[in-house]
Amino acid sequence: MSDRRRVGVNGMGGITPVGRDVETTWGNVVAGVSGGGPSTLFDTTGYRTTIAAEVSDWDPTQHFDVKELRRLDRFLEFFIVAARQAIAHAGLDFRNDEEAASRAGVMAGAGFGGMGAFIDEITTLVEKGPDRVSPTGVPRIIPNMAAGLVSIEHNLTGPVSCVVTACSASANAIGDAAEIIRRGAADVMVAGGAEAAITTFGISTFAQARALSTRNDDPQAASRPFDADRDGFVMGEGGAVLVLESLEHARARGAEPLAEITGYGMSADAYHITLPKPGGMGAAKAMRAALDDAGLVPEDIGYINAHGTSTPANDATETAAIKIALGDAAYGVPVSSTKSMTGHLLGGAGAVEAIISILAMRNGVLPPTINYTTPDPECDLDYVPNEAREAKVRHVMSNSFGFGGHNVTLIFSAL
């Protein structure tokens, strides 16, 4: 660690099913407020799953003019607004400083990108013919446009890229952005992710894979990670962005970062296209790699924000992985899944949960896992059931796992 630049988190922004900014999201997560409800974004008649965690009162015209909106998919709207919030929170402005702008970049993460735009354009092609397809179709669909549009809006001319690793994408984006700063290729990176997959295809394909909860009559109780009666995840949407900055650069301009990103670990299950590898060894490798990167031991970790999707296989496997990675210390570490409230934001989940992990550390409050009523013998850790808990911690871990066997762990530490 001594040979690398240290990286702080200096700004945060987020649009989630339980809040249109970070402060509101945090307040609702601590209070155990569920964002689950009936799907309203399309007609769910005939669908196995008819519920989701939507950004239900989203009005993009409050943030974009009509001309801009023609070029934006819903996921892009979420990412751009979250980035605006985070950059303003960090107190940065690169639009009139070319030298500083050349040392600042963007790293976005998404699992699907513009799924809604893709469905719209394919429908137009089939029903109306090729001459009616929009020339802005491609920019609305491709995941990297999230990074591109933020770089354009804020004049960020340093490293700009995009990570597409399913549900670990935005965690990868944060970790990769930190590495860019660590090696000296940038001073500031805007990093996070977004997703807007509550669509006809998104809901139907995950439902066909038996990944979604079918607790349609009780949507607020449908996401129940680690509970014995869990039956799948609730699809969420939104976006979250962090501003990462070298500690030296931040302090030189009089800013004191909110936290330091100290650990980043990755691994692959190399097992199955959707299922986690039984036993948890793959995910445990990512956690151990993050601990090694941070120079920490298991006993240092005070809280884990779990991937915790509320699917039978994921939650049992993650529990096993935590026990492998932390050993005997696992039973003394509080673990919660805030997906019980936000739903699963897919490619945007890791960034949302990174922010929640940082705020848990800063505020001395661990968010709960709501809807936890029936213990599962395979899930035998402390899941902070149903009510938030006060606790002072200095190091927090956030897990994100994606289809294809991608495992990512981030560790944030107090300064």
Positions annotated as catalytic residues are 167, 307, 344
- Residue 359's SS3 state is helix
Cβ atoms of residues 171 and 400 within 8 Å: yes
For residue 208, give the amino acid letter.
Q
Q: Are 372 and 196 in contact (CB under 8 A)?
A: no
In angstroms, the CA 334 to CA 319 distance is: 12
Measure the CA angle with vertex 276, ends 172 and 146; round to 5°: 25
| CA distances to 93, 133, 153, 185 from 96, in Å | 7, 37, 12, 21
Q: Spell out a b/e string for 49-69, using b for 16 or more CB atoms within 10 Å of the CB, else e.
A: bbbbbbbeebebeebbeeeee
Buried b (16+ CB within 10 A) or exposed e, 262-285: bbbbbbebeeeebebbeebbbbbb
For the chain, helix (H) and strand (E) counts, in that order, are 14, 14
Do residues 356 and 29 touch, judged by C-beta distance below 8 A?
yes
Residue 74 φ then ψ, to 5°? -60, -40
CB 41 within 8 A of CB 50: no
Sign of CA dihedral 34, 403, 142, 7: positive
Which helix or strand (DSSP H or E) is residue 198 part of?
none
